[in-house]
Amino acid sequence: MIKDYEFIKSDEVPGPTKEEIRCLIKCKSEVSSEDIVLEIGCGTGGITSTLAEKCKEVIAIDKNPRAINITSQNLEKFNLSKKVKLIEDDALSFLNSEESLKYVKNVDIAIIGGSNNDLEDMIDSINSKLNKNGKIIITAILIDTKIQAITKVKNSGFKVEIVEINVSKGKIMERGTMMIAQNPIAIITATKS
C-alpha cells in the first residue's frame, strides 16, 4: 500500500484519501487483475493509484485541471501511468457524451469521491455502464451525501453495505503517544445484482 507521505501533494487539490480508507476501499471493492475501474473525482490520485496497482485499467475523471496534473505526476512516480486513462471534464457531462463510449463501458468497479450536486444522475449513468455484480463505491463525508447515496442505490435495486470509519492515528512524542482523530467517512458499497 502506498503511504500517504509518498504522494506528491498540492494545497489546491484535495487528497490523497488516507491510507486506512484506501485499504478499506481496496478490500471492499474486491478488485482483481481483470477489473476495469472508473473513478469520479481522482483528486491527488490516491485511490486511482491504489487500485491501479492491482486492476487491469483505471479511467479517472476530474473536472479540476490541477487534480489531473497532480494525479498524472503521482502515476508517473509510482510507475502506473500506462494503466490509467486520465480525463479532465465534468464527470456527468463526460459520461453522457459520445466520447465516453470509447473509454467507459463494461465497468467492474466505479468509485465516486466527488460529485457536486449530480450524485443521483451520476449513479444512473454509471449503472448503465456497470457489469452484472459490478460495484459502485461512494465515499462521503457530508451527512446529506450519505443519505442521498444510500437512498439512490437502494431504490435502484443495488445490494447496499455502509460502513462509517473513525480513524485515529498515533503521533509518537517524547512523553507519550497522542491519538489524532481524522474526519469520520462513510464507505457505501452498492453491488449490482
Ligand X SMILES: C[S@@+](CC[C@H](N)C(=O)[O-])C[C@H]1O[C@@H](n2cnc3c(N)ncnc32)[C@H](O)[C@@H]1O
Binding-site residues for S-adenosyl-L-methionine, please? 17, 41-45, 62, 91
Interacting residues with ligand X (CB under 6 A): 13-17, 40-47, 61-64, 67, 90-92, 113-116, 118
The residue at minimum Cβ distance from ligand X is: 114
Output DSSP code: residue 81.
G
Instruction: Find out whether 92 and 122 touch, Cβ atoms under 8 Å.
Output: yes
Pinpoint the alpha helices (H) of the chain. 19-29, 46-52, 65-77, 91-95, 100-103, 119-127, 143-155
36 or 61: CB nearest ligand X: 61
Of 11, 25, 3, the closest CA to residue 188 belongs to 25
H-run or E-run covering 9: none
Q: Which is nearer to ligand X, 92 or 190 (CB)?
A: 92
The CB-of-4 to ligand X minimum distance in angstroms stands at 10
Q: How far is the CB of 126 from ligand X (least distance, A)?
A: 12
Which backbone phi and psi does 158 adopt, to 5 degrees?
Answer: -80, 155
Cβ 22 to ligand X shortest distance, Å: 7
Q: Which is nearer to ligand X, 157 or 184 (CB)?
A: 184
